[in-house]
Structure 1
Amino acid sequence: MNYALDALWWKLTRPAVRDLASLLTAPPLWRSGCELNVRTLLGEQGFRYLLSLDANPQPLETHLAAHRPFHHRLGQYAEQLLAFWFAHAPHSELLAHNLSVSAQGLTLGAADFIAKLNGEAYHIELTCKYYGSANGEYETLQGLNRQDRLADKAAKLPQQLLLFKFSNGLHTLAAHHLPTDLTTASIVRGIGFFPAAQQTFEPPLNPYGWRGVYLERWDECPPDPERRYCLLERMAYLAPARIKAEQTLSAAEITAVESGLVAVLEQRPDGCWHEILRIMKAMPSENRTRHFASAENPV
């Protein structure tokens, strides 16, 4: 699925509102078994509320400003977007954010959110990940940071969701006068990057997840001279890019990028350039070897 082509992105213009909308409506990258569905996240008035925020983003911008700087930590930024939503959306109530559970002076974990949606209390864990692989196999999917592997994160998430199923977690909820009968739910967002020809997906990958193209060399899929491109900053990963012409790069310019996430762009009637596809340009294997060797043995 190419989520960047969703009709929603023709409507929303404010960067923070677009980022929030992606957290609420994007398909999960993998199936945790307890995904919080989009209908529950949005509520009956969710789209109207997003449109009103796009027209007047000051409440959201004020909330984000109070929690900056994020120091390029995309997860912290995404959490604050959802914290705002749970605290302000018509159908929701934020009960706790980053609630820690401890035992004998040691922190066992922290819940991203305790929130009520349509009156039902949830323990919600959020994760936003961007993984790719040259062969498209589940076990080899990893981030631009090669130590960040999908298999590891997918195995860790169910453990995080057990935080309030045992005595220490239950005592923490009671001490904060919070509901103890919580429904556990995950919000898994991000993009899987695969070879352009790959059509099948190994469980637990979501076959309807947001998909991009994985490259190690630009000659595997040469940039189209009729398109424009953008190397995305980390804090711009969440939603499809919408940028001005002066921020774009030509096909020739983008081939100088050795590693990063790249948006392929087309111009739309609003005058901006909109993402139609995302590429993970990974460092070629031989370059990674030289890079790490030079880092370990500096001149």
Structure 2
Amino acid sequence: MSPLPKNLFLDSLRDPIVRDLAWVIGSPGLLDETWTAYAGRVVDDAWCRTQLNTSVQWLAELDNEPRNLHNFIAQRPTRRLGQYFESLIAFWLAHIPNTQIIATNLQVQNAQRTLGEYDFLFRDADGNICHWETAVKFYLQAEPLLEQRAFIGLAVRDRLDIKLDRVFQHQLELGHTPAGRAALPTGVVLKRIQAFIKGYLFYPATQAGKYSIPVTPIPGVSDNHLSGWWIRHPVSSLPQTTPDSYWTILPRLRFLAPVRLDAEASVMGWAEICAALDAHFTVSDESVQVIELQRDRDNSWHEATRGFVMCSMWPIINT
């Protein structure tokens, strides 16, 4: 388990959207691709790393001139992180050599009822027609159990085990139903049906700012999953790796890649982050994602840890 993605070539990338694109391609998946129930049904990390390795020059060129990527994202305006994630996947797939997107968000209907949709249908470089169901998820361990059901979303109706049951028992099964087959374009026969699920799991921190990541595996969850901490407001301390850490607060659409800020960026010390959190929770119960920052050798800022600060009544407040 890791607090930050490793070997994503992100140190050389500056543009936030390009960094998010690199994260989408190469970050560790949330699921254990070797787990019996998921075997062959999850896009594996090795394939993603290969794709990232072959994309290094392309990503560097995009970082130098990101206009095409920015325009692509701007044509799909959204405040929803999942839709932004899908847009990045669409841009990536459209630029993989010998890969052709056939359809995105293709609805499956039975009479007047929508049964679901295919997130992505595409032909890969080997000629296989692929169906991907995609998601980016952030779950907090709300109970001291090493089980999927212990992890709930920022809106507590979203729970890891329920989400995965829907993905594997319903969404990935659409192509095996009469309505699902009827919705496919003429001549399309699915050869590879997989889930592409990325994200973070967050573990509870104490008011002393301490947290730990379990060594024992969570069934169905990758040992390499990305992780962070969570704590309820008001806070007397936050987890930090060094006494001289600084902080920033992330907007939702910046939740993906590790944060990197220029040397002159506005950051917050301990008193400032406490004041910002107090002001926020005076008027809102919405969660806040907080990033611990440290200086690089060039005086820029890089992410050390990340976590969510939740309202004092969470998760009851969201039920």
Q: What residue is the counterpart of 2:207 in the other structure?
A: none
Q: What residue is the counterpart of 2:213 in the other structure?
A: 198
Contact residue 152 and residue 158 of structure 2 kept, 8 A = yes
Contact residue 40 and residue 117 of structure 1 kept, 8 A = no
1:20 pairs with 2:43 = no
Deviation at 1:255, TM superposition (A): 2.6
Q: What residue is the counterpart of 1:144 in the other structure?
A: 154
**Alpha-carbon distance in structure 2 between the residues aligned to 1:246 and 1:112:** 37
Q: What residue is the counterpart of 1:93 in the other structure?
A: 100
Contact residue 5 and residue 27 of structure 2 kept, 8 A = no
Identical positions, percent: 28
1:112 pairs with 2:127 = no
Determine helix, strand or coil for the equivalent of 1:96. strand
Matches within 5 A, 1:39-188: 39-41=46-48, 42=51, 45-68=54-77, 70=78, 72-119=79-126, 120-137=128-145, 138=147, 139-158=149-168, 159-173=170-184, 176-188=185-197
- TM-score, normalised to structure 2, is 0.82
Number of residues of Structure 1 aligned to a counterpart in Structure 2: 287
Q: What residue is the counterpart of 1:253 in the other structure?
A: 272
**Alpha-carbon distance in structure 2 between the residues aligned to 1:136 and 1:188:** 24
Q: What residue is the counterpart of 1:296 in the other structure?
A: none
**Alpha-carbon distance in structure 1 between the residues aligned to 2:99 and 2:221:** 29
Contact residue 164 and residue 170 of structure 1 kept, 8 A = yes
Q: Deviations over 1:56-100 (max 9, x none)?
A: 2122112112222x0x11111111111111112224221111111
Range that drifts further, 239-248 or 92-101: 239-248
Q: Deviations over 1:163-186 (max 9, x none)?
A: 11122111221xx23521331111
Determine helix, strand or coil for the equivalent of 1:17. helix
Contact residue 225 and residue 252 of structure 1 kept, 8 A = no
**Alpha-carbon distance in structure 2 between the residues aligned to 1:108 and 1:230:** 41
Cα distance change, pair 5–45 in 1 and its aligned pair in 2 (3 A)? closer
**Alpha-carbon distance in structure 1 between the residues aligned to 2:305 and 2:236:** 17
Deviation at 1:210, TM superposition (A): 0.3
Range that drifts further, 48-57 or 214-223: 214-223
Output the amino acid matched with 1:14.
Answer: D
Matches within 5 A, 1:149-298: 149-158=159-168, 159-173=170-184, 176-195=185-204, 196-199=211-214, 200-216=216-232, 218-219=235-236, 221=238, 225-244=243-262, 245-256=264-275, 257=277, 258=281, 259-285=287-313
- TM-score, normalised to structure 1, is 0.87
